[in-house]
Amino acid sequence: MNKVKKIFGSTTFTGFLFILIAISLGMATIVETVYDTSTAKIWIYNSTWLEIVYLLFTINLTINIFKFKLFRKEKLPLLLFHLSFILIILGGGVTRYFSHEGLLHLREGETTNRYLSSNKIISIQTTDNHKKKEVLFSAYAGTSYTLHLDGYKVKFSNYNPKVIKELKSSPNGTPTIQIMVIQNFHSQNVILQEGEKIYFGNQSIGFSSQKDSDISIISKNNKLLITSSSPITQMTMSRMAASQVSEPKKTMDFKTRHAYQTNGVQIILMKSLQSAKLVAKTSSKGEYESVTATIEKGHIEREVTIFNQTGLPLTEKTLNIAGNTISLSFGQQELTLPFHLHLKKFILERYNNSNSPSSYRSIVDVLNTQQQKEKSVEISMNNTLHQGRYRFYQTSYDQDEKGTILTVNNDYWGTIVTYLGYFLMILGMTGALFAPKTRFQKLIKRSVTPTLFLLLSLLSPNQAQAKTSQKDVIKEFGKVWVQSHDGRVKPMSTIANDFLRKSMWKTSYKGNSAEEVMWGILTNPQKWSGEPIIKITPYIAGLIHVDSKYASYQDFFNPATRKYILLEEINQAYQKAPNLRHQKDKDLMKVDEKVNIFNLIQNQSILKTFPYKKEKQSTWISPSDIANVSNSSPEELFIKKSWDLIFDEYHSKHYEKAIHYLEAIDKYQKKNAVDLPSERKNKLERVYIHSNIFLYTFILYLIIGFVALFTCFISILRNKEYSKRFNITLDIILVIPFLLHTIGMVLRGIVSGHMPWSNGYESMLYVAWSMMFAGFIFARKNPIILSGAAFLSGITLFIAHLSWMNPEITFLVPVLKSHWLTFHVAIITASYGFIGISMFIGLTNMILWIFTNKKNRTRIEQTISQLSDINEASMILGLYLLTIGTFLGGIWANEAWGRYWGWDPKETWSLVTILVYSFITHMRIIPAFRGNFAFNAASIFGFYAIIMTYLGVNYYLSGLHSYGSGEAGNTSIYCFISILVLTVITLFARWRFRIYFLNKE
């Protein structure tokens, strides 16, 4: 027993489990991307072997709590921290096996107490008994399930997720009908074989089914009949007027060219076959999924295909086996609520002057079992309905905006246990950071000093000069509000900057500002269509026969025919499925976008500067939008002619008149626009755009960081101490770019109207800021930390300015409009800064080991020891922030989507990163990994878990965090090259370490 306890409670086994779980979960995200979510769940997430690993991990944690006496008073924070993970694992188990989740669809005015389970089931029912089983099928995993009941053995296999039904006449077939079902303006073709029953909305439709249906179609004496629990109105298709009405539960003839309306459903008979086989044909456009059921009883064996439509209740198929009737089912089960919901109104709100959704909400009445109103509530993103142990979340809506889709969740105990774990985790981490005698406090005393927080204020820009020159006209042009393609209203300066950056990845051209370039295209399109301002790849250059990295607008058109040269190739690229497009296809689509934007500018279509109608959700228009309108009103004439008048006055050098007309457009906007942004916001956005503040910041970071790092290394290698003046000077100098960086973040936040870390570009800005912040915190005894932080921040900002990062300010998607954005994203992204500092220190120590010699060995040993303490402290702080941020994200997910953990790739890789850094911070108690060298090496390569979580998931995997995604170019190649380079550095450092330090360590 002691031997088993020693093995399963060893720290080596702890480390093994950390790595095993991390690798398994990481592989699961790749499986999900390559195959599908079901395959990842079957093979990994929901597998028995992974559950055994979780059990072993829980046992290991429990043993180590007693082994390291964490129940002692001074170790109480660590006890809470480790207990929290046991509770979180337990809560996950409760959720897995005892929770229910599904979707509830409601139309305005509709009342229901039924919802569709998210899980699929298979079932068999005989005359006397019924048996069902929850299943998870995958076309790739080869899953099959078997049910035994009353002597029947039914095997469900050969699952196909996307098929279409194909009818084939067969003498050995089954009576089959094809009908069209219409409800709430939604129509669907349905094929039913004898004995089948399907659900459409809240109505069941059966064809000679042995089970009761709301609407039954019966074959009798080679004649089709229809009956319903409600009256049926028969209408002739030619006249669509009622020709016959039947009483409830009475049959009437069911004929083609007639429509039958009952229970809010309209049914039309399309085709009827006396003997046909229904074949499942694989198709990427298939609306059905299918499974083959093999029924055995004694010597009798029969095989049938059961079809099910995802999003609709399960399909039932009734069979006659040796004179006995059995029913087989496959699909999503309908579950019943202990109350009713009635949708009074669905409301979709859009951003002002835009069609982009801002938020959507459902006004719902909660009714008791007698359908008496108990209360009226509003359900929206991040605003849930709690009713008993059920929670309802706003998930989606119907395209006609008259219906809502709600997520239903019943996970009372799982949520309570998990949230208790989250609470203990945060409490334990807080205690570990601030309680005396913890390891973090020991490290902090040796290496850290408190930092000063800077209070910043913005200065107003100077007043404009007299409006007399061309420059003044273009300056006023830059102030004009215009609506962009995404619906956001922004200054013309921003549109111009976005265009030139997208077109050639620059903010000026031949000394001309972005506004001057755009103004030139508008006022002199013939000249500017010949300017090479469109950046192209060598592949595109070959297609249009241009020997340069840049092409003009004219280069894309045949001089003789004016035909678009790339038309055929671009059409082929767009016709391909997104996952089948190669890099050349993407290059074509990118350059096509650039050409189209140039065209929009020269024909004035981009000048959406007129809020034409005073509607709450209006879209602004340009002169070209109403160019063909005859009998124009005075307002329409103003819209049509304003820009032409401005350009005419400009060409005539009547600059003051041109400015006068620009001011007239401004007055029109103020009069007609709904919630037009303020002039202050206009000014701040133009200041932000023109200042290129982050460009200058990263240049300063890189230069100061590199020079300071070089100075630090020289001092160490020459065995010299840093001067006090150097430390103070470095602090003062780096405050300048840090101050600029902070001002830039504040400006972007004011302009965007939300916290500036909501997309890939903004989060990179924030990661760089948090790195510098961490550098100031850990810069007390060794200036190399602050130098490295500056250099790392500069590199991060440089990456943010690469072409695959989109710096445009955009609207928030509805799910991000939550106070959780502030806490979750801020905390988790800040952790990357501290862990980035840790990685840099690890690399610095490797370089120091490489340059060690007999003369400087003592100095380098002291420096490495000090830096390793800072490394561990920064990593612990980063790990705590990462863990807290991840599980706060779980709480947010529970508020927004109805589950606190769903194995989304971003969630999964955040957990993988937590496991990786938990392993690294525990390496000091694992015999095989003790020592500074192993720890520093791990701090370097562990950072690739951060890179995968931050960039890899966003740009290479799919999931719910798609609002932070994009296209990453060749980043994977650079990652592999960096791994190779760092491996060489680490091996060389290990060789030098063996020579000078191995015996001592």
Phi-psi label, residue 184: left if phi above 0, alpha if psi -120 to 50, beta otherwise: left
d(CA 241, CA 260) in angstroms, rounded, equals: 11
Strand partners, 325: 320
Per-residue confidence band for 56, with pLDDT thresholds at 50, 70 and 90: very high
Q: Is the pLDDT of residue 615 over 60?
A: no
d(CA 440, CA 433) in angstroms, rounded, equals: 6
Q: Which two tokens stand for residue 991?
A: 């060789």
Write the secondary structure of 121-142 as one string of H (helix), E (strand) and C (coil).
Answer: EEEEECCCCEEEEEECCCCCCC
CA terminus-to-terminus distance, the chain: 35
Identify which of 296, 297, 295 has the alpha carbon closest to the alpha carbon of residue 306.
295
Q: What DSSP state is assigned to residue 194?
A: T
Q: What is the tens place of the pLDDT at every residue in 153-210?
A: 999 999 999 998 888 888 878 889 999 998 766 778 888 888 888 877 668 899 987 6
**Looking at residue 960, what is its pLDDT?**
55
**Looking at residue 398, what is its pLDDT?**
87
Spatial contact of 19 and 938, defined as CB atoms under 8 Å apart: no
Spatial contact of 31 and 932, defined as CB atoms under 8 Å apart: no
Identify which of 667, 698, 689 has the alpha carbon closest to the alpha carbon of residue 752.
689
d(CA 149, CA 131) in angstroms, rounded, equals: 7
Q: What is the tens place of the pLDDT at every residue in 813-829?
A: 666 667 776 788 889 98
**Maximum Cα–Cα distance across the chain:** 107
Q: Which two tokens stand for residue 270?
A: 């399309």
Q: What is the tens place of the pLDDT at every residue in 879-916?
A: 999 999 998 888 888 877 777 888 888 899 999 999 99
pTM beyond 0.95, yes or no: no
Residue 835: CA atoms inside 13 Å, Cβ hemisphere, count?
32
Q: What is the tens place of the pLDDT at every residue in 507-538?
A: 899 999 999 999 999 999 999 999 999 999 99
d(CA 59, CA 66) in angstroms, rounded, equals: 11
d(CA 800, CA 761) in angstroms, rounded, equals: 6
- Phi, psi (5° rounding) for residue 692? 45, 45
Query: How long, in residues, is the chain?
Result: 1001
Q: Is the pLDDT of residue 453 over 80?
A: no
d(CA 416, CA 114) in angstroms, rounded, equals: 25
Q: Tell me what the mean pLDDT of segment 965-985 comes to.
A: 79
Phi-psi label, residue 343: left if phi above 0, alpha if psi -120 to 50, beta otherwise: beta
Q: How crowded is residue 396: how many other Cβ atoms within 10 Å of its Cβ? A: 12
Q: What is the tens place of the pLDDT at every residue in 124-137?
A: 999 889 999 999 99
Q: Which two tokens stand for residue 591?
A: 């350059």
**Looking at residue 462, what is its pLDDT?**
41
d(CA 792, CA 287) in angstroms, rounded, equals: 50
**Looking at residue 210, what is its pLDDT?**
62
Per-residue confidence band for 433, with pLDDT thresholds at 50, 70 and 90: confident
Q: Tell me what the mean pLDDT of segment 404-410 comes to.
A: 93
Strand partners, 278: 167
Q: Is the pLDDT of residue 87 over 70?
A: yes
Identify which of 369, 413, 346, 405 has the alpha carbon closest to the alpha carbon of residue 118.
405
Query: What is the CA angle 871-872-874, rounded to 5?
Result: 65
